[in-house]
Amino acid sequence: MNNQYDITDEILDQVSQIMEKLGQIYSYGELEAYPRLKQINKIKTICANLALENIEISPEMVNEALTLAGDSENKQYILNLDEAFNNIDNLNPYDVDDIIRLHGIIMKNISQNAGILRNKPLKLQDDSGFSQNCPPPNIIPELLNQLIDVIKNSPQILVRACVFQYVFEFIKPFDEGNHIVARFWQKIILSSWKPIFKYITIEDVLSDNKKAFNKVLSQSLSNRDTNSFIEYMLSIINKAVDNLIKDSRNHLTHSNQQVKALLNVIESYPQSSAELMAKLNLKSRNGFRLNYILPALEMNLIEMTLPDKPTSKNQMYYKK
């Protein structure tokens, strides 16, 4: 296992840019407090992770799977990823047992070996012809413990998260699901440092650059070139931070427009969602809640008649 790397000028530059941009994000306030933005980015994370597993699914399909009863294609995978996302804050980024626990969550009812370390040899070959003989199963626990020790002692956490992903992809400790666990654990490491990383959709940028990422990963593993992978992943993280800056601006602008429209029709006496949607000529109840009601509640401009039961079918709203 090669985990040696040098702090190159490229790495320093990428880290510097990311740190500066994170400061811009926090200048907008604590974005974690915006439920609509949180929900949108969680769904984007789920969609992107599935796309990277060659499962194409729309945000609407993910939302339906999370909110509606009944079975649908890939619903189990969606529910598992939702549970994994919701547990990010409960997983210790430097605990091997929690890595295994995460695999159990993501692969629940999908793999019979969910939450179980690989006990058979594994040899993989990708589309480019790169062949990888993964480490034998008897040394996997030792390699995972070594990996945790390495990232604990890495001086820069952005680099630390990239090193983890690279080495984990080399070890491949599970029969299946290794790629998605590697991506999720990178998010866990970064969000333990700055919680905003929970909503920075690195996976979305990887999905848009899937071929390039696979090529860089294959070449870096083949050449035992940790630096190339770190530099590439930092550029991906940098782009993901750019996207959140843009999305947060759009979110605030769009929210202001939609909240203004809601305030034009809502009264000082209680009205139901159906009444307000009819006035706004809207059809999607979920879209109405995410795009109009939640932002207006965030801005403290409207109130609920049943604040302790926000999703009650008897819920009504009124202008403050």
Residue 182 lies in a domain: yes
pLDDT above 90 (res 118): yes
pLDDT above 70 (res 252): no
Question: Mean of the pLDDT values across residues 270-288?
Answer: 90
Q: What is the pLDDT of residue 72?
A: 73
Q: What is the pLDDT of residue 141?
A: 96
pLDDT above 80 (res 191): yes
- Per residue in 240-249, pLDDT (tens digit) is 999 988 877 7
Is the separation of the CB atoms in 92 and 82 below 8 Å? Answer: no
Domain co-membership, 216 together with 108: yes
Domain co-membership, 274 together with 212: no
Residue 296 lies in a domain: yes
Domain co-membership, 166 together with 229: yes
Domain co-membership, 197 together with 231: yes
pLDDT band at 6 (very low <50, low <70, confident <90, very high): confident
Question: Mean of the pLDDT values across residues 214-228?
Answer: 91
Stated pTM of the model: 0.79
Domain co-membership, 200 together with 297: no
CA-based torsion, 221, 222, 224, 226: positive or negative: negative
Closest CA to 168 of 191, 193, 151: 151
Residue 52 lies in a domain: yes
pLDDT band at 24 (very low <50, low <70, confident <90, very high): confident
Question: Mean of the pLDDT values across residues 292-316?
Answer: 87
pLDDT above 80 (res 213): yes
Q: HSE (CB half, 13 Å, CA atoms) of 129? A: 0
Closest CA to 88 of 46, 147, 132, 27: 46
pLDDT band at 7 (very low <50, low <70, confident <90, very high): confident
Question: CA separation (Å) from 252 to 107, 134, 152, 197, 214?
Answer: 36, 47, 37, 19, 35
CA pair distance 180, 172, nearest whole angstrom: 11
Q: What is the pLDDT of residue 251?
A: 65
Q: What is the pLDDT of residue 304?
A: 95
Range of the domain at 91: 31-245
Q: Which residues contact 289 (CB under 8 A, 6 or more apart)?
A: 273
Domain co-membership, 215 together with 308: no
Residue 255 lies in a domain: no
Domain co-membership, 274 together with 206: no
Extract the tokens encoding 289: 């809640």
Q: What is the pLDDT of residue 27?
A: 54
Residue 144 lies in a domain: yes
Q: What is the pLDDT of residue 35?
A: 66
Question: Mean of the pLDDT values across residues 219-228?
Answer: 90
Question: Mean of the pLDDT values across residues 72-77?
Answer: 86
Domain co-membership, 186 together with 51: yes
> Chain-wide mean pLDDT for the chain?
89
Domain co-membership, 149 together with 279: no
Domain co-membership, 126 together with 161: yes
Residue 22 lies in a domain: no
Residue 106 lies in a domain: yes
Q: What is the pLDDT of residue 248?
A: 74
pLDDT above 70 (res 270): yes
- Per residue in 229-239, pLDDT (tens digit) is 999 999 999 99
Q: What is the largest CA-CA distance in the chain?
A: 68
pLDDT band at 3 (very low <50, low <70, confident <90, very high): low
- Per residue in 75-92, pLDDT (tens digit) is 999 999 999 999 999 999
- Per residue in 56-68, pLDDT (tens digit) is 999 888 988 888 7
Q: What is the percent of the chain with per-residue pLDDT over 90, rounded to a whole number?
A: 60
Domain co-membership, 190 together with 295: no
Residue 283 lies in a domain: yes
Task: State which of 245, 278, 294 marks the end of a domain.
Answer: 245
pLDDT band at 253 (very low <50, low <70, confident <90, very high): low
Domain co-membership, 117 together with 47: yes
Question: CA separation (Å) from 52 to 48, 100, 204, 214, 298?
Answer: 6, 21, 9, 10, 33
Q: How many independent structural domains does the chain possess?
A: 2
Question: Mean of the pLDDT values across residues 155-175?
Answer: 94
Torsion-angle region of residue 124: left (phi > 0), alpha (psi -120 to 50) or beta?
Answer: beta
Question: Mean of the pLDDT values across residues 40-45?
Answer: 91
Extract the tokens encoding 274: 């159906």
pLDDT above 80 (res 98): yes
Could you tell me the CATH number of the domain that includes residue 53? 1.10.3290.10
- Per residue in 136-154, pLDDT (tens digit) is 999 999 999 999 998 888 7
